[in-house]
Structure 1
């Protein structure tokens, strides 16, 4: 895992949420011989929720994942689920880091955590980061993102030991209900069209295809791209479950739509030269997976709705002074854009 080429952390360096000495003592007990010197740790920036650290003994390096500081929703930050899914997928065609250790004893670093291998690669989060690749390489990287999604959805959950990883029956209804509740919990201003979009999605629920492992947040900046512009690892499995695979495709199509908003605080790479448009990505997925994508407009509209709800939650916390940092003051103005995109997509589909 990499966010470019950050300098290695110094021995004893202790970022918030991870005590290297306590981690070293635990690893020495559970994986004797793995670590050969004092550990340094460094928070890897860029994650949206769970915290990711690079740790090193000066010779070898690993990655540690733990829930955010002061988290309250255990189900949303379940280290067991993340560890389980990457462990199950490691011997499949889906590129994931090797899981090395799971610790559910909160006395070690203050929360459950797991350790996995450090995979070489770069997460491309912005047009500016992709631009140096040039149009041909950018196109190849994004198309490989679709191909990797096809590989994920081809995994037999039962054969991989994930047959009980989720409840696929009624998956779309529960998803729509869940995000409706999220909206109700954070809505403190008039948002024209949001209720109409929610209701329209409920009236037009498609019949789901056979369930697969779904990532839940599949996009370019949740994968690492390594040598040869190949995807070396799919990361951030905190929302993974068994469900409707087209939810992953709809979300990817949404993230690959050019918002036409330069400098938007919502990361998108769709404006990079050579970046395939959503229609091409959807067609490639359909061809390679064999799935019927005739109702993909619903799934893409649902993705717009889901992101509108997430952004409204961030905006609400910002108004309460609970979220600080660059760009948060502009999140609120994006919500109507996402609502409008959702309504338009559903109507045109």
Structure 2
């Protein structure tokens, strides 16, 4: 049976390139499947048809090569730099910046066995004790990431940490303005309050940018085997990663929410417990975590409003987008409450 060529990945051209650049890596024709995951970039599992090898290929989304081509080099660079450290990442095997091979830049990394847990239902079979172990491991791995000296691993110029929070806030404010087509009570108040209360950042670290349970692979021993989806990574304020993790660990109290949250799973540590563990293990002052968590609520509100805006223009594909717009006021309210209670 001939191999299936998934959209965006010509297996014959990929095989030829691998044979030239990594002779002996591949044995036999390739097969591939597109897998879920990631904010925008496409991820494929590629195998030898004789079953002796398995790898992962990442490329930009179809039709948006110019806007995201730089992601490939950044992702490849950061996982290459982190692989020798205590941070679990797949081994980067090859970066190709030549569009003529598959139509865009791409990179190849090792395949890591593990499960990305996205829902309470997926965690349920683990039980309370194993779920707790997995989520606490998420915090411990974040501490390991933020302990890496960027300069020591060749990432000293990976971002511009000076003025990081101010730039982030302005960036997401512009994103909001680009998708405004309805009244959103409270969102300007939230944005302004975040601007007025900007904390002083600790020393910069490598930040993941989208750190949550379904962006890591959990092994059968409930330990984190790999942190994935580094397309948002940069040098910046480490507490932005913690704030986002706290937000995703909060109870939305929304049935059938399209936003991934596992906080309702039995054994899932509370946000306060995650903050306490991070502070104890990292030695960082987390007293301003309410700001970082409120910023995470604001950022997700903006992202969801952008999706809702595209839905109103008929630019979304698939189901469930009709409910996204109703979530935005919930995220705004959580952001305001978090700031007030902080």
- Fold match, TM over 0.5? yes
Contact 2:251 2:263 (C-alpha < 8 Å) held by counterparts:
yes
Contact 2:65 2:104 (C-alpha < 8 Å) held by counterparts:
no
Output aligned runs, 1:1-349, within 5 Å: 12-58=3-49, 59-71=52-64, 74=67, 78-349=71-342
**CA apart distance, 1:343:** 0.6
Contact 1:12 1:40 (C-alpha < 8 Å) held by counterparts:
yes
**1:7 maps to which residue?**
none
**CA apart distance, 1:11:** 5.3
CA distance in 1, matches of 2:2, 2:203: 49
Contact 1:305 1:339 (C-alpha < 8 Å) held by counterparts:
yes
Contact 1:142 1:220 (C-alpha < 8 Å) held by counterparts:
yes
CA distance in 2, matches of 1:30, 1:230: 33
Change (3 A) 1:72 1:183: farther
CA distance in 2, matches of 1:217, 1:90: 19
**CA apart distance, 1:12:** 2.0
Count of aligned positions: 340
- SS at the partner of 2:151? coil
Cα deviation, 1:6-27, whole Å, max 9, x if unaligned, reads: xxxx752111111111100111
CA distance in 2, matches of 1:124, 1:326: 21
CA distance in 2, matches of 1:107, 1:277: 49
Q: Which shows bigger deviation, 157-166 or 44-53?
A: 44-53
Cα deviation, 1:149-188, whole Å, max 9, x if unaligned, reads: 0000000000011000000000000000100010011111
CA distance in 1, matches of 2:299, 2:98: 33
Cα deviation, 1:272-310, whole Å, max 9, x if unaligned, reads: 011011000000000000000000000000000000000
Off by >3 Å, runs of 4+ in structure 1: none
CA distance in 2, matches of 1:103, 1:274: 43
Return the TM-score normalized by structure 1: 0.96
Return the TM-score normalized by structure 2: 0.98
**CA apart distance, 1:318:** 1.1
Change (3 A) 1:11 1:214: farther
Contact 1:11 1:38 (C-alpha < 8 Å) held by counterparts:
no
Contact 2:58 2:107 (C-alpha < 8 Å) held by counterparts:
yes
Change (3 A) 1:77 1:270: farther
Structure 1 regions of 5+ residues with no counterpart?
A: 1-9
Structure 2 regions of 5+ residues with no counterpart?
A: none
CA RMSD of aligned residues (A): 1.1
Change (3 A) 1:269 1:73: farther
Q: Which shows bigger deviation, 244-253 or 310-319?
A: 310-319
CA distance in 2, matches of 1:299, 1:259: 17
